[in-house]
Structure 1
Amino acid sequence: MPEVQKVSVALTGEQVAALRAAVDAGEYATTSEIVREAVREWQFRRELRQEDIRRLRQAWDAGKASGAPVPMDFDRLRQEAQQRLNDVRTANEHAG
């Protein structure tokens, strides 16, 4: 287990009451356990956000590298998308 260090965190009275209520209800053994869980969830969300940013940057770079934009016929695009959806639905009906 990694070394445990203490830090001081300022919380509102309402937040402290919520932590203590969770401990009193037996949901957690200590308020520290709740805070550690919250930090783990924050770390996980932060990592996901960083990965999203990385993928977005890759997509941006790929778009820029693909050349100049060309005019697009959105009605034709919509029809092509509808046809692909219909093809997938038909394939699923025959498969299942």
Structure 2
Amino acid sequence: MEKISISLTSDQARLIEQAVGSGDYASSSEVVREALREWKAKRLLGRFWDEGVMSGDAAPESIEDIKAEARKGVV
């Protein structure tokens, strides 16, 4: 593990203390690690969303076309 120092507002520090105090987390480090994992996932989801939007509109297909493709094994 690598140790770093960060500065937080009083409100942010209080949120971390409350999370640990509630028993949901064993340490402030656990709170920060989970927050970073969620931040990373949110950024990744945003990137995928942007890529989807940039790829253009999907070609409209009828349900019959979708079923025919599925039957061919080409979905």
With normalisation by structure 2, the TM-score equals 0.68
Which one of 18, 21, 25 corresponds to residue 21 of structure 1? 18
Q: Tell me by how many angstroms 1:10 deviates.
A: 1.2
Aligned residues: 58
- Please state how far the C-alpha of 1:50 moved relative to its aligned partner: 0.6
Partner of 1:42: 39
Which structure has more relative contact order (CA 8 Å, sep 6+)? It is 2
- 1:82 paired residue number: none
Unaligned runs of 5+ in 1: 63-96
Larger radius of gyration: 1
Name stretches of at least 5 consecutive residues in structure 2 with no aligned partner: 59-75
Question: Could you tell me the TM-score, scaled by structure 1's length?
Answer: 0.54
Over the aligned positions, Cα root-mean-square deviation in angstroms equals: 1.6
How much has 1:57 moved relative to structure 2?
1.3
Segments of 4+ moved more than 4 angstroms: none
